[in-house]
Structure 1
């Protein structure tokens, strides 16, 4: 399934009566309540709200980053509460170019859930019905099967990669200034993992929508050269916007890259780890 769906395609599915679960993933990294308040004000009719902090993250220890993954068991319980069965067609959207929606996309894809897409352009591109009354999820009668995450890069692997003579390529999705260690407002330390390359997730977009698959392919091939997609590691501040680059590679036909979920917020939590600026 194409990881990206257009507003027209989604509207056709709705009009056909297809069973689609629409998930509003709007969020603000500096104010965790903003997204839900926006949802209550206006959203795609029938959408449920999915919170990046509460639904798509696990407990923080101070050492595992700002948005660690929930355990596979906790993620299965969340899927049950949200009503996401193995066969459910999920369409995620936000109003940030797919930044937060791509986190839900990746978390489902990483456990083998094939029927999940991100709405191109998000709510801003939607011309269909808008709802103003929130909808509570319809929980599943039983908890879905627990599946381990695939394509996850651990902090130990990242440390080994930094020390390796032949490093795997790490693509950091943060803005260039934060990558350089400037204007850091979310994490206590600025900089990036040694050897990482910067491609801000916004480079995947034009006018708020994803570039064509052909254009994304050209740009990523230029970036990664002869390296195979399966060797590429995606990073960012806390494992959210990195999913956007991973999704863009998938849309370009460059499948198999992996995610360092803890990303910079996990890396910089240990002062003994080296930093580049």
Structure 2
């Protein structure tokens, strides 16, 4: 996989939507489809509940709202975590509501640098739909470029996607194994990894042997992904690629998907520990490490 397989820039999406002429320079993630891509707005962030309201105020023209809590995750529990993978039938029904068709291109975005939209990116790939990209820089980059937005609700023509779950995920036992036999990256903020604070989960710290790799470090100051060389240098410093398999976790399996995407940009396949810290920390039999 390469950058163009993971990302599309705002110029490329605008051209695909017929909102602007394609620029003379190469566009990241150019589309081959005759039909415009399906665009999904995943407006969500930890502790915020006004995603739909913000979507209704302004979104990329034609974008359909995606509810992360109910469509991109199953019911939360101590045993499964705060955002377990959704039931395939639930995801299939949601994807069809969004208008996702077999063979159609999909673009997902948010207003937080792709850290929530990446959950939709990862899930659609897990579901067997590989033609999906993140809008690099999200809504902020779109608006900085002076591109149009619209308000109100968009209702798509129903799609026909059939969800066929693939691999790409590991459970707690496999995560523990990866921490010693491969590389397990912890995508949360450094202070949560070190156990200095824990705002939502029952115990503070990290999976023993995991390496701190905050998702925010995948991005530049303007919320776009780092250039390829910078991403390679970042992950090389963390031991990737290196020994064995690479896995990623975060608080509940949302922002870790962003790290999987960043690794994919530079050609590294990584698995997601979907239960993440919210599952691990709820199991009293799981050991916890603190500090750097």
The reply to whether TM is greater than 0.5 is yes
Q: CA deviation at 1:80?
A: 1.8
**What pairs up with 1:12-51 in 2 under 5 angstroms?**
12-15=15-18, 18-31=35-48, 33-51=49-67
Query: Which consecutive unaligned segments of at least 5 residues does structure 2 have?
Result: 22-33
Are residues 132 and 60 of structure 1, via their aligned partners in 2, closer, same or farther at CA, if it must alter by over 3 Å? same
**What pairs up with 1:148-163 in 2 under 5 angstroms?**
148-161=165-178
Are residues 99 and 179 of structure 1, via their aligned partners in 2, closer, same or farther at CA, if it must alter by over 3 Å? same
Q: CA deviation at 1:160?
A: 4.5
- After superposition, the CA RMSD in angstroms is 1.8
Q: CA deviation at 1:190?
A: 1.1
Query: Which consecutive unaligned segments of at least 5 residues does structure 1 have?
Result: none
CA distance in structure 1 between the partners assigned to 2:166 and 2:240 by the alignment: 28
Residue 223 (structure 1) aligned to one of 238, 241, 249: 238
Contact (CA 8 Å) 1:102, 1:244: kept in 2 or not?
yes
Q: What's the secondary structure of 2:200's corresponding residue?
A: coil
- In the alignment, is residue 128 of structure 1 matched against residue 141 of structure 2? no
Q: What's the secondary structure of 1:209's corresponding residue?
A: coil
**What pairs up with 1:1-277 in 2 under 5 angstroms?**
1-15=4-18, 18-31=35-48, 33-126=49-142, 127-140=146-159, 142=160, 144-161=161-178, 166-207=180-221, 208-225=223-240, 227=242, 231-254=245-268, 256-277=269-290
Contact (CA 8 Å) 2:168, 2:271: kept in 1 or not?
yes
Q: CA deviation at 1:25?
A: 0.6
Count of residues in Structure 1 that have an aligned counterpart in Structure 2: 269
| Runs of 4+ with deviation above 3 angstroms | 159-162
Q: CA deviation at 1:161?
A: 4.6
What TM-score does the superposition give when structure 2 sets the normalisation length? 0.87
Q: What's the secondary structure of 2:134's corresponding residue?
A: strand
